[in-house]
Amino acid sequence: MDPFTDSAGAIARAVNARSTSAVEVAEALIPRAERVDAQLGAYLQRTPELMREHARRVDARVASGESLPLAGVPVAIKDNMCLTGTRTTAGSKILEGFVAPYTATAVQRLLDAGALPVGKTNLDEFAMGSSGENSALGLTRNPYDLDRVPGGSSAGSAAAVGGFEATLSLGSDTGGSIREPAAFCNVVGFKPTYGRVSRYGLIAFASSLDQIGPFARSVADAALVYDVIAGKDPLDATSVDRDVEPAAGFLREDLRGVRVGIVKEFALDALDAASRAVYEAAYADLERLGAELVDVTLPTAEYGLATYYLIAPAECSSNLARFDGVRYGLRADGADVGEMYERTRAAGFGPEVKRRILIGTYALSSGYYDAYYLKAQKARTRIAEDFARAFERCDAIVSPAASSPAFRFNAKSDPVTMYLMDYYTIPGSLAGLPSLSVPCGAALPEDGTRPMPMGLQMTTPLFTERALLGYAHAYERATLHAEKLTPVTAVIESSTSLRAPSGNRA
């Protein structure tokens, strides 16, 4: 039993069987996370005391006869989710000193299931970005090449799991913010159906799109988390009141009888040769596993980006109006309350957040609403209808998860170029569909020295999480791509036995 490399399932089994304890897992993980994070910067804050406290509680519950699905499993939490008593910043200066007075439902469910909080992870400010570079509070590096971005916005949550600083993590996905960084960091990233997981305690960005989901190093572990966090929450009126089909016990090993849709509009010739070869091999592997590949079309997918960059900023401009220097967060001085608002928001928000607030305010302003926001909502309908039609011909749609592997820092200074990273993830987000990225190989970037991981995106109809995770599991077990790469950070110490003295520094 190895607390760094073992699966969440294996750790929980060992803790439940009392062959190890949650306290031992915590004591092994805490110094390692500190050591690795000096290179990676995945965390904005680590919470060792809280982790120990939860570990003691888990051990007591197990001793009293309980069996917990995530007993003793180290988890990292994206820092746009509240956890009582921890700083919760959304990666923004405007919330730098905010201490959460309550806990998000998804986080609470993980803790109730026995998970141990390692800390809060870095993100693009208010989850707006595709590289992690928009955080105002820290720099997170890619565990597979420290000169490259981890992806975003759930930058630290992807890097922490990819760099073996946590077994699992939670992220949030609005237009690709789980799937793209998962692809960049060689991990599984899973966005469930919109409304499947409570958003209570998640700092809102675009409320009609935001969804919490897991990062894990295997599909089976992602399924374990899904089973714990999914389901109706009375504290979130948009969470869906519909039975959850558990996924973890229903994963499959082959794809016989599964029709997999290849999207005409996502033709691979948009990619460079090395990336194209990775996806061609992935599609061939799906076929080898028994899937029937069928051509499908999403004629409106090319409008996805334009639609998203009206809807998400519009909702963001409204949601972020609450940051006004009155009830929480930063306050700048002003002669009257209006000046105080304007200066507080000027000092507290970074450039990308300001850009999106401006776009959204413009799109919603008098005289433009019909041309922009309403038009985008209608386009959204057509995009969702396209998917529905495509799913008459197939059970799952596959595509690249991102437009390229992880790129170098400061490589994309133009906002629209950055937005294009999410070309493949955004249409499914607009349609609310469950979607994930699973490692599918690696390609050497032209300007790189190490092959960088890539992700295969799989998307299925609303509320078919069990099927989606099943397909991804079959593909993952047959290909084992994630295991072919080793993070540069991790010199995974050879003496990682739980019985080794903890706290020793390399």
Partner 1 sequence: MPTDRIDIRHVARLARLALTDDEIATFAPQLGSLMTHVDALAQLETENVPATAQVVPSRNVQRADTVRPETILAREAALSNAPQVQGPYFRVPRIIAEEG
Q: Which of 433, 419, 485 is nearest to 463 (CA)?
A: 433
Site for partner 1, residues 227 to 256, rule: CB under 8 A: 234-235, 237-238, 240
State which residue, 153 or 218, has the beta carbon closest to partner 1.
Answer: 153
Exactly one of 135, 177, 317, 399 is catalytic; name it.
177
| Interface residue with partner 1, options 16, 172, 275, 307 (CB under 8 A) | 307
| Interface residue with partner 1, options 4, 144, 184, 341 (CB under 8 A) | 341
Known catalytic residue at 78:
yes
C-alpha to C-alpha distances, 470 to 171, 251, 426, 436, nearest whole angstrom: 21, 4, 23, 12
Site for partner 1, residues 375 to 394, rule: CB under 8 A: 375-382, 384
C-alpha to C-alpha distances, 447 to 221, 400, 401, 413, 422, nearest whole angstrom: 33, 20, 21, 17, 21
38 binds partner 1 (CB under 8 A): no
- CA separation for the pair 166, 37 (Å, rounded): 11
Site for partner 1, residues 146 to 205, rule: CB under 8 A: 193-195
336 binds partner 1 (CB under 8 A): yes
Q: Give the 3-state secondary structure of residue 188.
A: strand
Q: How far is the CB of 133 from partner 1 (least distance, A)?
A: 16
Q: Which two tokens stand for residue 113?
A: 């299931």
For 309, residues 6+ apart whose C-beta sits below 8 A from its C-beta are 359, 419
- CA separation for the pair 179, 172 (Å, rounded): 10
State which residue, 5 or 381, has the beta carbon closest to partner 1.
Answer: 381
Beta-bridged to residue 443, according to DSSP, are 452
Stretches 63-71, 398-406, 412-420, 485-493: which one binds partner 1 (CB under 8 A)?
412-420
**DSSP assignment string, 2-15:** -TTTS-HHHHHHHH
Q: Which two tokens stand for residue 374?
A: 């309403």
Known catalytic residue at 153:
yes
Exactly one of 131, 135, 153, 435 is catalytic; name it.
153
327 binds partner 1 (CB under 8 A): yes
State which residue, 418 or 436, has the beta carbon closest to partner 1.
Answer: 418
Range list of β-strands (E), 291-364: 292-296
Are 443 and 449 in contact by the 8 Å Cβ rule? The answer is no
Determine how many CB atoms are found less than 10 A away from the CB of residue 367. 6
State which residue, 326 or 491, has the beta carbon closest to partner 1.
Answer: 326
Known catalytic residue at 378:
no
| Interface residue with partner 1, options 462, 474, 482, 485 (CB under 8 A) | 462
Q: Give the 3-state secondary structure of residue 163.
A: coil
State which residue, 381 or 497, has the beta carbon closest to partner 1.
Answer: 381
Site for partner 1, residues 422 to 451, rule: CB under 8 A: 430-432
Q: How far is the CB of 325 from partner 1 (least distance, A)?
A: 6
Give the catalytic positions in this structure.
78, 153, 177
